[in-house]
Structure 1
Amino acid sequence: METYFSVVFREYNLVDRVDGSVDSSDMKEDSEWTTIDATLIRWFFLTISKHLFLNVVSDGDDAHAVWVKPNGLFTDNRLQRCAFLQQEFFGCHQDDQSIDDYCRRLKTLSDELCDIGTKIDDDLLLSMLTPGLNEDVDNASANLTLMSGPSFPKFIAYLRLEEHRMKQVKKRVQHTALVAGTSCGAAPPTAPPALRTPAPSTPLEFYLLPPAPPAPPAPQP
Structure 2
Amino acid sequence: MVDGESSAPKPSLYPVYTVTNIQNKVNLFTLHARGYKVLHHIDDTPAPAKNDPLYDAWYEIDAHVLQWIYGTLSDELLPRVLEPDSTAQEAWNRVKNIFLNNKGARAASLESEFNNLKLGKFSSFDAYCQRLRKLSGQLKDVGAVVTD
Name the TM-score, length of structure 1 as normaliser. 0.45
Distance in 1 (CA, whole Å) between partners of 2:58 and 2:116 is: 46
Question: Is 2:33 the partner of 1:9?
Answer: yes
Poorly superposed stretches of 4+, deviation over 6 Å: none
Question: Is 2:84 the partner of 1:62?
Answer: no
Distance in 1 (CA, whole Å) between partners of 2:101 and 2:135 is: 17
Pairwise CA distance, 1:16: 2.7
Matches within 5 A, 1:1-221: 3-20=27-44, 22-24=45-47, 26=48, 28=50, 29=52, 30=54, 31-95=56-120, 96-120=122-146, 124=147, 127=148
SS at match of 1:79: helix
Distance in 1 (CA, whole Å) between partners of 2:35 and 2:87 is: 20
Provide, for residues 47-103 of structure 1, a one-character-per-residue CA deviation record: whole Å limited to 9, x for no partner.
323453233332222101111213322322332221111122233344334455333
Q: Is the 8 A contact 1:41 1:63 kept in 2?
A: yes
Name the TM-score, length of structure 2 as normaliser. 0.62
One-letter code of the match for 1:19? Answer: D
Provide, for residues 129-165 of structure 1, a one-character-per-residue CA deviation record: whole Å limited to 9, x for no partner.
xxxxxxxxxxxxxxxxxxxxxxxxxxxxxxxxxxxxx
SS at match of 2:85: coil
Q: Is the 8 A contact 1:17 1:64 kept in 2?
A: yes
Query: Which structure carries more relative contact order (alpha carbon 8 Å, separation 6+)?
Result: 2
Pairwise CA distance, 1:10: 4.0
Bigger Cα displacement from structure 2, 95-104 vs 61-70: 95-104
The 1:12–1:94 alpha-carbon spacing in structure 2 relative to 1, beyond 3 Å, is farther
The 1:40–1:110 alpha-carbon spacing in structure 2 relative to 1, beyond 3 Å, is same
RMSD value, Cα: 2.7
Distance in 1 (CA, whole Å) between partners of 2:111 and 2:58 is: 41
Give the greater-gyration-radius structure (CA): 1
SS at match of 1:54: helix
Between the aligned residues of both structures, percent identity stands at 28
The runs of 5 or more residues in structure 1 that have no matched partner are 128-221
The runs of 5 or more residues in structure 2 that have no matched partner are 1-24
Distance in 2 (CA, whole Å) between partners of 1:6 and 1:97 is: 36
